[in-house]
Amino acid sequence: MKISTLAVLLFTRAPALAAAQVTVKDPWVRATVPEQRATGAFMQLTSPAGARLVEARSPAAKTVEIHEMTMVDNVMKMRAIPGLDLPAGKPVELKPGGYHVMLIDVKRQIKDGDSVPITLVFEGKDKKRESVEVKAAARPLKPQAEAAKKHQH
Ligand SMILES: [Cu+2]
């Protein structure tokens, strides 16, 4: 009887400990060209229990916001959102043309191959916050830009 009670306690405790634990897959940031002030970071987020991305920070940028892209009068526009809901067990993609973490007033050029630290703050269903630090790998702006650059040499 004692053993089964303990087993139940352990079993019920485990999900509470893992409440806001979010898996961050393949974080990357779009490399910038000189003088470019802002860029986007992308990744896949999965929360087993459900959580909300409420804040992002990075030493590489003065301001970091959570953005979404929406169609306004047939034009894609982006705007800051207060948070991004992660439904339980369902991967949420942050990708070009969709949700992204916006790095505003980047302190220096982010070059292809750079590693940019980003701290993501998640809020669990229990309102407890958890910070996850990821290193986003910088990738080139777009293949065309790379091709154009090579053409100059
Ligand atoms: Cu944006």
Q: How many helices (H) and strands (E) does the chain have?
A: 2, 10
| 108 Cα to the center of ligand 1, angstroms | 18
Distance 76 CA to ligand 1 centre (A): 11
Per-residue pLDDT of the chain (153 residues; tens, 9 = 90+): 455 554 444 454 444 444 458 999 999 999 999 999 999 999 999 999 999 999 999 999 999 999 999 888 999 899 999 999 999 999 999 999 999 999 999 999 999 999 999 999 999 999 999 999 999 999 986 655 444 555 544
DSSP characters over 35-83: T--EEEEEEEEE-SS-EEEEEEE-TTEEEEEEEEEEEETTEEEEEE-S-
User: If you measure from the C-alpha of residue 126 to the centroid of ligand 1, how many angstroms do you get, rounded to a whole number?
Assistant: 29
Residue 135 to residue 119: CA distance in whole angstroms: 9
C-alpha 93 – ligand 1 centre gap (Å): 15
Q: Which residues surround ligand 1, an ion (CB under 5 A)?
A: 67, 78, 102
* pLDDT at res. 21: 84
Task: Judge whether 25 and 82 are in contact, CB under 8 Å.
Answer: no
Burial status of residue 133 (CB atoms within 10 A of its CB: 0-12, 13-18, 19 or more): exposed
Q: Which two tokens stand for residue 100?
A: 């992204």
- Helix runs in 61-152, H state only: 143-152
**Alpha carbon of 78 to ligand 1 centroid (Å):** 5
Q: How many CB atoms lie within 10 A of CB 118?
A: 23
Rg (CA), the chain: 19
Q: What is the pLDDT of residue 43?
A: 98
Ligand 1 mean position to 99 CA, how many Å?
8
pLDDT value at position 50? Answer: 95
Using the mean position of ligand 1's atoms as its centre, give its distance from the Cα of residue 81 in Å. Answer: 10
> What pLDDT is attached to residue 40?
97
